[in-house]
Amino acid sequence: MTNHVYKKLEFVGSSQTSSDDAIKNAIAKAAAGSKHLDWFEVVETRGHLVNGEISHFQVTIKVGSRIED
């Protein structure tokens, strides 16, 4: 097994449907612009309320991008 070095990239995804969809939206954008993505961690979950109901979910994630030699 080799040793890896990663850099962390931070993204905020949003969705009107769910926090899971917000995460998937953020990861899709991360994958479109970065190589060697190996993992993610949820840093923060929040939402926007309108008239006492959830209007949008927002999720901040950090994505680990493996640095190649």
Block means of pLDDT (10 residues each) for the chain, 69 residues, are 85 97 97 93 97 97 91
Domain covering 6-66 assigned CATH 3.30.450.20 in the classification: no
Given this model, what pLDDT does residue 40 score?
A: 97
Residue closest to 61 by CA, chosen among 46, 49, 44, 47: 44
Given this model, what pLDDT does residue 65 score?
A: 94
Given this model, what pLDDT does residue 15 score?
A: 98
Given this model, what pLDDT does residue 50 score?
A: 97
Given this model, what pLDDT does residue 12 score?
A: 97
Say if residues 31 and 40 touch (Cβ distance below 8 Å): no
DSSP state of 36: -
Query: Would you kindly state where each structural domain of the chain is located, as residue ranges?
Result: 6-66
DSSP state of 56: E
Given this model, what pLDDT does residue 32 score?
A: 95
Given this model, what pLDDT does residue 1 score?
A: 43
In angstroms, the CA 1 to CA 48 distance is 44
CA distances from 3 to 10, 14, 35, 62, 66 (A): 23, 34, 18, 20, 10
